[in-house]
Amino acid sequence: MKILILCTGNSCRSQIAHGFLQSFDDSLYVRSAGTKPAEQVNSKAVAVMKEAGVDISSHIPVNVMEYLDEYWDYVITVCSDADATCPAFKGRVGKRLHIGFDDPSRLSGDVNFIMTEFRRVRDDIKNAFARFYLTEIKKAEQPRYVCE
């Protein structure tokens, strides 16, 4: 199963979703990318994922153009901008979904408030992608029985 997660900068929300989804099932082929990728993954995203037991410190933002020719079972956007500007994939896409989240990387002010928001968004992403995993991926893997 191949899953591509898209965001604008590929530095925060898409990286968090990528990390969680891969942690749920390491047999999945998960990648994340951005329509306008940042230079590096947001350090606060790395920190809150480490608190959750998932290491994304080696992740690197990638431009979505690198993946346009590939087949993807799912392409999932996690921000409205990426959903609106997502390029047409030359490769085949099984399902395209949008699962949107607030962007904690755009906040300013008190560090405690910002970290609280990063944790809230991290937990929102974890819960949403756990539901996605259970309802889309695991459900698709279950055998279907036919009564005769």
Task: Output the domain CATH number for residue 101.
Answer: 3.40.50.2300
Q: Which residue in the list 3, 6, 7, 17 is annotated as catalytic? A: 7
Residue 84 falls within a domain, yes or no? yes
Write the CB contacts of 143 (distance below 8 Å, at least 6 apart in sequence). none
DSSP H or E segment with residue 98? strand 93-98
CB-based contact 50:28 (threshold 8 Å): no
Output the pLDDT for position 138.
79
Measured distance CA(129)–CA(5) in Å, rounded? 11
- 40's tokens: 């590096």
pLDDT score at 5: 97
Alpha-carbon separation of residue 115 from 66, 112, 148 (angstroms): 32, 5, 56
Residue-range definition of the domain harbouring residue 67? 2-141
Q: Which amino acid is at 141?
A: E
Choose the catalytic residue: 1, 62, 86, 115: 86
pTM of the full structure: 0.89
Q: Is residue 107 part of a domain?
A: yes
Say if 148 falls within a structural domain: no
The answer to whether residue 147 sits within a structural domain is: no
Residue 28 lies in a domain: yes
Residue 92 confidence (pLDDT): 85
- Hey, how many other C-beta atoms are within 10 angstroms of the C-beta on 44? 20
Q: Tell me, yes or no, if 86 is annotated catalytic.
A: yes
Question: Domain total for the chain?
Answer: 1
- 58 found inside a domain: yes
**Which pLDDT does position 140 carry in this prediction?**
64
Which of 16, 33, 75, 79 is an active site residue? 79
147 is catalytic: no
3-state DSSP helix/strand/coil % of the chain, to nearest 5: 45, 15, 40
Q: Which of 147, 137, 139, 146 is closest to 22 using CA atoms?
A: 137
146 within some domain: no
Q: Is 117 within a domain?
A: yes
Opening angle at CA 12, ends 133 and 51, nearest 5: 75
The tens-digit pLDDT sequence of the chain (148 residues) is 999 999 999 999 999 999 999 999 999 999 999 999 999 999 999 999 999 999 999 999 999 999 998 999 999 999 877 666 666 666 689 999 999 999 999 898 899 999 999 999 999 999 999 999 999 887 766 555 555 5
